[in-house]
Each structure stands twice: as structure tokens, then as C-alpha cells.
Amino acid sequence: MEIIYLLIPVAIILVAFATWAFFYSVNSGQFDDLESPAHRILYDDDEDMIPEDARVKKESDAPSTEITKD
Amino acid sequence: MSNQKDSCFHCATPIPKGVNVELSVDGKQESFCCPACRAVTQTILGSGLEKYYQHRGNQQQERPTEIESQEQLALYDNESIQSPFVRHIDADRKEATFVIEGIHCAACVWLLERHLTEQSGVTSFTVNLTNHRARLVWRSEEKPLSELMAAIISIGYTPHPFTPNQEEKLYEQEQKKAMRRLGIAGVGMMQVMMMSSALYLGDAFFMEEHIQNFIRWTSFIVATPVVFYAARPFFIAAQRDLRTKHLSMDVPVSIAIGGAYAASVWATFTQSGEVYYDSVSMFTFFLLIGRFFEMKARHRTGMAGNELANILPASATRVTDSAEQLVPVSELKPGDRVLVKPGHSIPADGILFTQHTSIDESALTGEPLPVSKQLGDQLVGGTINMEQAIEMEITSSAEQSRMSSILNLLDRAQADKPKVAKIADKVASYFVAAVLLTATVVSLIWWQISPSDAFWVTLSVLVVTCPCALSLATPTALTAAIGSLRKMGLLVTRGHVLESLAQCSAVYFDKTGTLTTGKLTLRETTPLCKQSTEQLNQLAAAIESRSEHPIASAFSPYFTYSVEDATNYVGEGVEGSINGQTYRIGKPEFVARLYGHQPPIHPEGTGIYLLMGNNSGPLAWFAIDDQLRPEAIEAVKQIQALGLPVGMLTGDREANAQRIASELGIDHVESQLSPEDKLTRVKAMQNDGERILMIGDGINDIPVLSGAQTSIAMNGATDLAKTSSDAVLVSADLRRIPGSLSMARKTQNIIRQNISWALLYNLIALPLAASGYIAPWMAAIGMSLSSLIVVGNALRLTKQL
């Protein structure tokens, strides 16, 4: 069980690193808008990236996304 | 998507009869309500952004507003005007911040970002959905700012230059701080929980002593920042409350966190007793989450910025002896002469220099009908010139204008707002006093009996009475209720709303825009000839079709054909000819002059009466009025059924107010009140011990909304009115108000139940702990169970819709 003398400090260092990264992202404004990025992923504007032969017909390629007002 | 043939493809408003504006979209012919909507759709399709119409779901797009003239926008290319909201990033790139009007969903954000980044010269353009703020980085050499603003306008949104004020900067800092605290508490909680489970299991499986100690030390390292950084706001608030000799909920929370942490540290250092690092971090995290959501809701409405500034126009046409010149409003000085075109707002307070015009003062008084002004009359900055181009002399600068003075009134009203006594705080102050007293007594007694156990027994008293359940009792119930209210369509923005709604003793409404729709409509047609009502309405609509006057809009639903030529007679009416026949519509005397007799007898009633006639005689009377909201009667009845009197405070004329009041069954009416009067009335009633709920919408309601104990702004209200009110009625359905009132009362009951339970639990646990019968693990289970019961009880509120 002596291995935890190594593992737990490693875990704490990782946590410290994660906290630093979190602070950095909050301070640089990445958490200012908590709503729109969640919706952005739902938009299928990647049509040009789909290979020609894999493209589907118009009806099915755009599931209507239910977006509620904030 | 609501693109049936009877509603506009772009903005989904019903298409008026006879309007035939079409465009082929994706192979299908779609109809529009106006050419502006079609232009917007054309731009959107032209940029290959047709996906917008799929993304936006069922959201209605606002009808595009009148496009500001290029000339006016070009003012924004001026360095001195740009300086407040534009900054230089490097030699050729600049950054501008806007508040964009007309955003309601993520699809709008998508559309704006795509459209703008496709413009040449734009480096980046990001829109924040929460606060509707946009950040534009562009190369100013390549493209003037005005053209980029025009690009935003062309897809149906309005950009307002945004200058953050001090308060908004504070909001941003507060939010970032709260986010960091939440992060620390969350990460810390997870780590400590993991190590604690090892300790729990270790007890059962005989973990070696040195490993247990090691885990305790590491838990201590992780929990320390949680207590000293994340939980800091609780300690600071508790310290402040103690200094003002007022025991609030923050005091027991701090005692719980501080006490349990201190006990654990003691246990860690002396290697004796139990550690509670997990409870400490978890408790902190849950309380912080509650505070975080409360803060988000509070900021949400304030975010859109100080929109009143937008009512004052950014530019004005100054007239000098030699020339006309477009200048920024901030440069206007008393004594300047300015030219105001119809449909534009008056730049600052001043005196009318033209013979006659009519002014829409609805922003100031709530009165929907334009007020007629003669040479020499006072004009108020921010109101809108309706009829013809006028010349006026400025008497005070834009900052000192009347609109700005309403803002000052707002500050005063907010300071005077009566405080709501929170039950939890009241109970807490007794509770804390009792706990502290008991703990002291217990430690003194144990000191006598057995000094070595005294510290541990005292601590277990503090931990077992850890006011988790008590401090969770109110926030959980409030969070659940606020969530339910939001689903119902009432957005709560201040923490005290639910308690003050439950205690409210009288409900007061504003009239225009709140009880009524705020739009002029044709109420009644009284034929004076053989033609049917419908024919007459269509005829009137045809004659009015060329008119810009707000009265003309009342006829637009009946529009089927257009007049051949029409002339406006300022302040009198409109004349037009159809099939060679001349018609007039307007003031009775004006119409009577056409056929040369006395006008017919004016019908009894309120609102505006217009006469229509031709060469041979009068044809019909039209009664034009502001219509009641369809659900208003039911809403008033439901509020009265809850035992609350309903009143109305309005700036409108006596007769109109009385008619609306009798239709609704409102007992208490006061009319012709200025914004100041409304505030004074409400304050007087509050001084008499009444607890007023005020519901309003306009700029004229802002002081009273911030002065009333509780206030609700309608969704159509100006942003400033929303910011100064405690809640916003998003669904625009007045019946939600009685619904919210009963929800608030239910919440109050749940809070009482929760507090009673928490107190009962403590009453049982305290003597047991004081006499040394409770082992730490029992205390932990008791603590969690009582908290769970409280949370479960609060969750009942989410089901009662």
C-alpha cells in the first residue's frame, strides 16, 4: 500500500494543474457565455466536410433543434 | 416553423390582407408581411445562410426596424464618436463592442456570426447569447465601421454601441470570482470525497494507522483552499453581520464550515477523533451553487446594458444660418436650432419653432396617442416626432433632459425600497444565539465533569447542530420555486421576490402596455350610410394607407386596396380619392367642410372618434382605442379571488382610465399621474403598511417599479424597466401573475415546514449530543438525512405547476 505515498501526491499535483487551467480559462473569458456554445454544436453547418457519397437527402440532414429562450 | 400562408415567413406576424410580398425560398414560394422582411430574408439567403430558418426552431423574429440612413451611420466613422466603444488593437485593427437588439436564440447568434465574418475586413466577430453583446475586430483601413453596422442591420438586427459602465465591470468581476470559487469547491469536493471513502472503508478493513494519517493530511491539503478561498464570502458576510449585531444565515453557515474544519484540523494534527473534510467541502459547494444561480438570474436582466441611452438619438441635424449639419447629440448646446424629421426622436428638451406637429410621448407618459404641440410648446428629449419635419430650439443639453432626470429618480427610489424581512434570517438569528449559548453552557459543564472530553463534546454539539438543514431550508425551496416560475413564464431576478410576493397585500397595474396591448386598434365602426361595416373599414384603410400617423396603423388589418392619391392635413386628417370620388377621414369639422353641412352628433364614448365622409355626406364614425389584453379580465378576477385588492395607476386621461377599470372590475383607479406621482402614491401606501406589487412596462414606470416592494415588468418593457424590476413576465400572459402569487404562498409554506423540521431535528439531537451520547458517525448520518428531507420537500414545488 506504500504506493499511495506516490500516487496521492501525483493526484494532488494534477488537481493543482487542473485548477490552474480552470482559473486561466475563467480569467480569459471562456466561461462568460455559458449558453450559446451548448447550442452551437447542434448546427449542421459541416455539409461541405461530408464526402460526396455519404451525403443524405435534404429532409433528413437537419434535425430541427428545439431551442428554448433563455 | 410557422410559415403558413397567413403569417410572414421571416417574422411570423400575421400578413395584412391584400399585402402580396413574395420570394422563392428553397424552391417554395413564401409570403412576407412587408418588403423589409423580404429584404432581410433575401440577404440571409444571398449569403448562403438559409440554415438559419431551420435552426431557429419556433422562435419569432422581430420585424426589422426602419433602417437608419447611411448618412447617420456614417457618423460612427468619426474618431471622436468611436472613442467610447472602439479601441485600437494594433496599427490597423480595431475592436468595437455592441449590444445587439433582436437576438433571442442561438440561431440568431449563428446567423450574425456567420454573416459578419464573411464581410471583408472582419477579423473576428463573436456574439454572447446571454448578454447580447458582440465583439467586432476589423481592419479599419479596409472597411469603415458604418458599413459593418449596415451589414448587421441588413439581416434584421440593430447594433447599439456599447460602453460598459462601472456597474457592468463589477458584474463581470463578480461572475468570474464566483466561477473560480465554484470550481475550487467542486474539484476539492470530489478529491476529498474520494479520499474520505478510502477512510470509511479503511475503518472497516483495518487500514494501517500511518496510511490513514497520510490520507487525512492530504485531505487537509485539498480542503484548505475550499474553506479559505471558496467559502470566503460566507465568512466575510458573517463577520459583517456580527459587526452590525444582526445574526443572519451566514453566521451559522460560517460556524458550521469553520467549526467542522477546525475540528478536523485538530483531529489531523493530534491524530485523534474524526475528520469532516468531506462534509465541509460538499456543504460549501452546494451553498455556492445556489448563490451562483441566484447571481446569474440577478445579472441576466442587467446585462443588456443601459438601453435608455439608446432612446436618445445619436445624431441630430443642427440648423445654422448658412447650412444644415449632422452633429452628434453630445455636441448640442442650449440655444442650438435643430431639425427633426417625422419618425425621429427629439434629441434633447427644447421649444417647438414650427407651427404645429404631434409628438408621441409614450416613452415618457405611457399615453399611446400622439399629443398635439403648437408653436412655442415644450418638447421633451427622447419622445418621437410623428407628423412633419419640425425645427426646435434646444433648452438643455442631452444629459440634463427630462429622460435623464427619470434616471435620477430611479436611483432615489431604489434606495428607499422597503426591505423584506426574511423568515430564515429571523429564525437563524434566534437559532444561532441558542446554539452558541448551549455550546458555551455545555463546554462549561463538561469542563467541570471531565476537562479532557470537554473539547470533543462541544465540537460534537456544534457539528450535530450544524445548521445544514436550516440553511438549506430556504435556498432549496427558493431555487425549486424560481425554476417552476421560470417555466410558467415569470423570470425572477431578485432574491426577495418569492417572500415579498407571498406577503403582498395589494396589486397595482399600469394601464398602457400592461393591462392593454399598447397598440391602437379600431374598436367600433358606426355606419352613417347604407354600406356594411366591412366595406367602410376597407375604404378607411385604403384612404389611410399612405399615412404615417399611428392612427393609420389601426386600419391596416382591413387593408385590401390602395388609394389613388392622398393628402395629409396636419392635425386634421387625410383626404384621398378613389374612383374619382373624394373622401376625407379625420376630425369631424374637417370632414364636414367637404360636404358643407354641420358634422353629425358625436357618439358617446371614450377614445378617439374619427369621421369619414365624401361630397354627399358623412359615412361612418370610427372609434379608435388601445385594446385590453384578452386575458386581463380573468387575471384581475383571479387576483381578487386570492383576496388581494387590484388597483390601476396610469398617466392616461380620467375617462379612458375609468372605462378600462370598469371593464376589468378594478376598484381603485388613479389617472393623469406623472412618473413622480406614481412613485409618491406607492410610497405613501407602503408607509401605511401596505405591501405593493406593481406591474408596469414603460420608461414612465421605471421609478415606481424600483420603488414598489415587489415589481414585475412586462416582457415588452424597455430593458431599463426590466432591470429596475424584481421579475419579468416573459410569457406576456397576465394570468401568470395570480399563478405566481399562489406559487409564492406555497413556497412560503414549504419554507416554514422545512425550518420547523430542521428545528425539530436540532431540538432532539442537541440534548443527546450535549450529554455525550452521539458518536460522530451518527451525527454525520443525522446531518445528511435531515438535509435530504429538506431538499426532497423543496422539490415538491417543481411538480405543482
> pLDDT digit string (tens) for B640-665?
998 899 999 887 778 778 888 888 88
* pLDDT over 70 (residue B464): no
Query: What mean pLDDT value characterizes chain B?
Result: 77
Minimal CA separation from A53 to chain B, in Å: 22
Are residues B214 and A4, on separate chains, in Cβ contact within 8 Å?
A: yes
Does A67 touch chain B if contact means CB atoms closer than 8 Å? Answer: yes
Check residue B783 and give its pLDDT: 67
Give the pairing of strands B324-328 and B315-319: antiparallel
Check residue B300 and give its pLDDT: 54
For chain A, the C-alpha Rg in angstroms (whole number) is: 21
Does A45 touch chain B if contact means CB atoms closer than 8 Å? Answer: yes
The model's pLDDT over B354-402, given as tens digits with 9 standing for 90+, comes to: 888 888 776 666 566 677 888 888 888 777 787 778 888 888 776 666 6
d(C-alpha B550, C-alpha B536), whole Å: 19
d(C-alpha B605, C-alpha B659), whole Å: 9
- Closest residue of A to B50, CA-based? A45
Instruction: Identify the CA nearest to B714 among candidates B637, B801, B641, B629.
Output: B629
Check residue B424 and give its pLDDT: 64
Percent of chain A predicted with pLDDT > 70: 64
Residue B104 is nearest to which of A4, A31, A69, comparing CB atoms? A69
In order, the DSSP letters of B285-353 are HHHHHHHHHHHHHHHHHHTT--THHHHS-SEEEEE-SS-EEEEEGGG--TT-EEEE-TTSBP-SSEEE-
Asked if B29 and B56 touch (Cβ cutoff 8 Å), the reply is: no
Please count the CA atoms within 13 angstroms of the CA of B270 that sit on its side-chain side.
12
Are residues A22 and B180, on separate chains, in Cβ contact within 8 Å?
A: yes
- What's the whole-number mean pLDDT along residues B286-297? 71
* pLDDT over 50 (residue B303): no
At B435, the pLDDT band (50, 70, 90 cuts) reads confident
- Closest residue of A to B53, CA-based? A64
pTM, two decimals, is 0.58
- Closest residue of B to A1, CA-based? B211
The more confidently predicted of residues B185 and A63 is B185
Q: Which residues of B597-631 are buried (b: 16+ CB within 10 A; e: fewer)?
A: eebbeeeeebbebbbbbbeeebbbbbbbbbbbbee
Instruction: Identify the CA nearest to A38 among candidates A63, A60, A65, A18.
Output: A65
Does B293 touch chain A if contact means CB atoms closer than 8 Å? Answer: no
DSSP at B737: H
Asked if A58 and B48 touch (Cβ cutoff 8 Å), the reply is: no
